[in-house]
Amino acid sequence: MKSGRSKLHDLWANSVTWHQGNLLSPESLKDAFNGVTSVISCVGGFGSNSYMYKINGTANINAIRVAAEQGVKRFVYISAADFGVANYLLQGYYEGKRAAETELLTKFPYGGVILRPGFIYGTRSVGSLKIPLGVIGSPLEMLFQNTRPLSQLPLVGPLFTPPVNVTSVANVAVRAATDPVFPPGIVDVQGIQRYTQKK
């Protein structure tokens, strides 16, 4: 049996217990979730509408259901901000995300947290190539933080949702998963930024 070990060579990866599973085969998740108190899911992907619904929706719904069955207390789901008219271009992506959100709020009414960041930037590894998305994301985040009124415009307003650093999203996700007084519900990009500033 394979371990599920990531190909990451970062030092922290050696401190993780890795499990192999298939989110489209819920039975394969039960052992991994046994005795777990919190889950953070950042599973998602792009492709055809049916593929996007399956990866962003069905896979996460399966994880949510198995976690609830196994007695997990808190489940944090990295979803996505609403981008208004742009949602229609990625219909399967957003429909899948919203279906997973609905399942989470149903199965974890007191311990489910949904993070809805916009564009997440950081360094992206593609094979041995490192793409510094912060070159674009960081300046846009600073610019859009001061354009909040524009986000209220009909149709195009959501396109002014500020990007957010991957480290900020990760820090808030870990806090939501481990802090029992972190309130359940939906945290938008402004909420992610507020929690990051409170550290």
Confidence of residue 20 (pLDDT cuts 50, 70, 90): confident
CB 69 within 8 A of CB 34: no
Residue entry with tokens 């792009």: 46
**Euclidean distance between the first and final Cα of the chain, in Å?**
41
Q: What is the pLDDT of residues 31-47, one digit of tens each?
A: 889 899 999 999 998 89
CA atoms within 13 A on the CB side of 73: 11
* Distance of alpha carbon 48 from the chain centroid: 20
State the average pLDDT over residues 137-154: 50
Confidence of residue 64 (pLDDT cuts 50, 70, 90): very high
CB 39 within 8 A of CB 75: yes
User: Which pairing describes strands 123-126 and 38-41: parallel, antiparallel, or unpaired?
Assistant: unpaired
- What residue ranges define each of the domains in the chain, with the CATH number in brackets? 36-118+165-198 (3.40.50.720)
Give the predicted TM-score (pTM) of the model: 0.81
Q: Which residue has the higher pLDDT, 185 or 119?
A: 185
* Residue 137 pLDDT exceeds 50: no
Q: What is the pLDDT of residues 77-109, one digit of tens each?
A: 999 988 766 667 788 989 999 999 999 999 999
Token output for 135? 């070159």
Handedness of CA 92, 93, 94, 99 (dihedral sign): positive
* Residue 114 pLDDT exceeds 90: yes
User: What angle do the packed helices 59-69 and 91-107 form, to 10 degrees?
Assistant: 10
- For position 56, what pLDDT does the model report? 95
